[in-house]
Amino acid sequence: MNLFTETNLSPDILKAIGELGYESPTEIQKQTIPFILSDIRDLIALAQTGTGKTAAFSLPILDMIDDTSRKIQFLVLCPTRELCLQITKDIKNYSKYMKDIKTTAVYGGSSIMEQIRSLKDKPQIIVGTPGRVIDLINRKALDFSAIHWLVLDEADEMLSMGFKDELETILSETPETKQTFLFSATMSKEVERISKNYLTKPHRISVGSINEVKKNIKHEYYVAGYRQKKEALKRLIDSNPNQYSIIFCRTRMETQEVADFLMQNGYAADALHGDLSQAQRDTVMKKFRLKNIDILVATDVAARGLDVNSLTHVIHYSLPDDPEVFVHRSGRTGRAGKDGVSITLIKPEESRKLKQIKSVTKIEIAEAKIPTGEEVIKAQVGGVFESLFEVHEDFFEFDDALIPDLSAFTKEELVHKLLQFQLKDLALYYKDRHDLVEQKLNSRDDDRGSRRDRDRDRGRDRDRGERGERSDRSRDRGERGGKPRRKDENMVRFFFNLGKKDQLKKLDVLDIINKATSNGKSKKRAEIGDIEILEKFSFFEVEKSFKGDLLSNISSMKFRGKDMRAEEAN
């Protein structure tokens, strides 16, 4: 089966997928579609993310579903609402010309009453997350007695997210006569146990392996200390112009901090994590798919279900604990036959974790040096020409007479002037910047340092913060108690008179600093360092050259009607 037209799928389905550009099936589709169409056995299918699993299981089931029945016949369970919505969208596209087929998504983070009302349309297909499906079962809103097909999509991820009990409850609510298809990227012990308990003599299909993502993905890693990571990230982004990328972080807090850093430095970036409302998540994902933003900072869980084939880069801002998660992340680039780049940014003490990932995955990850300012500018020049020589449509018309006489310039002189104009701001930023100090990997992990950084990332250093706050209260000048901080010579640390009690958030501080340091003479924004918001006051770091602007302007500003005051902290 080299073409979809060689399958026994109905003309309505072939017409719909033809309009979507589907011509040749992927390997998982080649093996799965004929099996589901012709066999009544259960199925275990092992395949990586992005291999076309949704079409593999939904196309043959759509071909067999009874569109005259108004009972639920087909249930898909998946780990996240993003993946739930993506699968629902795909199935609706595939069944575009099957007018009597209805598909409904049920997931957490959205009104359960609206979803109950949508079920009154009597859909034949339900796509849902385990928790919301359980809620609807308890409310007697879902009846699975007539189910013929059950798909567990990304079963390994559902189990790793703690949905074992929910899955077993749902499975127990479905008839024994159903056909169950388990799709997973890995065959963990929990997935194996589920398959033994709830699948009957399943057929197995395995496509590719954990190493398959190596073929068209270039892997490289860079070493940077904790305090250098954000600046190192900026240089890596700047030295890879025209990228369309996902940056992966370990925690929600780290994700938001990195996104804030990029946005306040002028990048088209945004964050995707579990603290966002469903509406916020939908907005961010829509912007990313439409390329209104070209950098998405995300946690692993939040990025599930974000199916984008044109990613140029994946950046591991923080290493995952599980080597297979590293493979999942990296595999989001290099799709659809294109080349991709996987960039890993590690701290010096993470050599053991990196070594483990390389050993388990058998991926060659080459060490590289963080680019200098000069190397960044050279890369940007290349990026300008790369963008210029792409095929562009004409967005507007103009009279050639408007072009001034350029005969006084040679071709090289004209290009030089245009590049200087295009890259002026970036060149000024790197002009006086020192290269980042080269970091060496430690021969063994600094466990105390690693734990300390993880605690900082996850916001677990409350005791230290409270000690600092008590110490600060004893000082009118806002001096920091406890062990002295190592000072960044380019940054100034400020005491700020507002805190959590004033409903102050980090985004508010970023906005305040940007407004206070905008003097109208330069488009350059102040570099902002650490921001620490305590109960009654806060601390933040700002680039030294903007100290005067900040101190002179902030006293005339107000936040929620309150006066603001900042002074340099000792």
Q: Which long-range contacts (CB under 8 A, 24 or more apart) does 475-482 make?
A: 477/567, 477/569, 477/570, 478/537, 478/539, 478/567, 478/569, 479/569, 479/570, 480/539, 480/569
pTM to 2 decimal places:
0.58
Alpha helices in 144-266 (DSSP H): 155-160, 164-172, 189-198, 229-238, 252-264
User: Which of 528, 548, 539 minimizes the C-alpha distance to 266?
Assistant: 528
- Do 108 and 161 contact (CB within 8 A), yes or no? no
Which residues, in sequence order, are CB contacts of 433 under 8 Å at separation 6+? 373
Q: What is the CATH T-level fold of the domain 212-370, as seen in this structure?
A: Rossmann fold (3.40.50)
158: left (phi over 0), alpha (psi -120 to 50) or beta: alpha
Q: Which CATH superfamily is domain 4-206 in?
A: P-loop containing nucleotide triphosphate hydrolases (3.40.50.300)
Which class in CATH covers the domain with range 461-568? alpha beta
User: Do 212-370 and 4-206 have the same topology in CATH?
Assistant: yes
Q: Is 490 helix (H, G, I), strand (E, B) or coil?
A: coil
Residues 570, 568: Cα–Cα separation, whole Å: 6
The count of other CB atoms within 10 Å of the CB of residue 6 is: 10
| Cα 5 → chain centroid | 35
Detail the DSSP E strand segments found in 275-422: 295-299, 313-316, 340-346, 366-367
Residues 255, 526: Cα–Cα separation, whole Å: 21
Which residues, in sequence order, are CB contacts of 394 under 8 Å at separation 6+? none
> Which residues in the chain land under pLDDT 70?
1, 49-50, 208-214, 305, 336, 391-392, 437-438, 440, 442-489, 519-524, 570
Strands 566-568 and 491-496: antiparallel
- Cβ burial of 203 (10 Å; 0-12, 13-18, 19+) is middle
Any idea which residue has 């575009």 for tokens? 96
Residue 187 pLDDT: 78
Angle at 79 between CA 74 and CA 84, to 5 degrees: 55
C-alpha atoms less than 13 angstroms from C-alpha of 80 in its C-beta half-sphere: 22
User: Which of 194, 123, 154 minimizes the C-alpha distance to 54?
Assistant: 154
Tokens for 474, please give them: 């004893």
Tokens for 425, please give them: 């701001």
**Residues in the chain, overall count:** 570
- Do 126 and 142 contact (CB within 8 A), yes or no? yes
pLDDT digit string (tens) for 498-519?
988 888 888 889 889 988 887 6
Give the start-to-end residue ranges of the domains of the chain: 4-206, 212-370, 375-431, 461-568
Instruction: State the greatest distance between any 2 C-alpha atoms of the chain, in Å, as a whole number.
Output: 83
Tokens for 178, please give them: 């159903």
Residues 43, 29: Cα–Cα separation, whole Å: 13
Residue 486 pLDDT: 45
Residue 568 pLDDT: 87
CA-based end-to-end distance of the chain? 72
Residues 86, 78: Cα–Cα separation, whole Å: 10
